[in-house]
A = this chain, B = another copy of it.
Amino acid sequence: MDAQLYTGKAAEILDAAERHMRAGGYDAVSFRDLADEVGIKSSSVHYHFPQKADLGEAVVRRYTDNVLDALAMPDDAEESARDRIARLCGIYRSALKDDGLICLCCVLGAEARDLPDPVAEAVNGFFGRVLGWARTALDGSQGQGPSCTQILASLQGAMILALATKQPELFDETVTDILERFEG
């Protein structure tokens, strides 16, 4: 159950696949496009990830690990719930502003019904783990601020709004609303 480590071409493939999936969904990824981008042939991509579902699952799992790593640190026990949630907001914010990318599992979650089972399950797992993190992050903030569900839902939806309307301010507006509710 250890987190898998990817290096070299495998990592490059995952990088390219994640970028495409976050921009256009699961179907936006093709073995030939990935191969071209990393400078190998499509059959070599199949060597690393035999089926497309394997690739999709690996992308989601690696993404999940990366997000949870970023959420966990710095590991300060005295940190307020508000500051911890602000870190979650910041992760999404920088991806959106710097690269125009929204959460991978926001895109894939929206088309979950049509995803291969292992990929859909990995997306489900992402939300479970992030909600689990949020539950402990809010620990001790006695009923103050929005619920974990509400925080995560707001952020996911705000990314879509900001992207689709080309108004990044809409994301910040939501972040402000979330954080303000901690000063109740």
Contacts and interface: CB of A to CB of B under 8 A. Distances in A.
B127 A163 contact: no
Q: Could you say which of A26, A27, A111 has the most chain B C-beta atoms within 10 Å of its C-beta? A: A111
A120 interface: yes
A153 B158 contact: yes
Given A123-B164, A127-B161, A158-B149, A111 B24 contact: yes
Contact of A110 (B102, B150, B173, B177): B102
A80 interface: no
A28 B67 CA distance: 28
A109 interface: yes
Interface in A94-135: 100, 102, 105-114, 120, 123-124, 127-128
A165 to B, nearest CB: 5
A62 to B, nearest CB: 18
Number of copies: 2
A158 B161 contact: no
Given A157-B157, A170-B149, A163 B100 contact: no
Q: Could you say which of A25, A120, A173, A177 has the most chain B C-beta atoms within 10 Å of its C-beta? A: A25
Interface in A147-184: 147, 149-150, 152-158, 160-161, 163-166, 170, 173-174, 177
Contact of A153 (B109, B124, B174): B174
B23 A25 contact: no
A160 B156 contact: yes
B23 A164 contact: no
Contacts of A107: 110-111
Contacts of A149: 158, 161, 170, 173-174
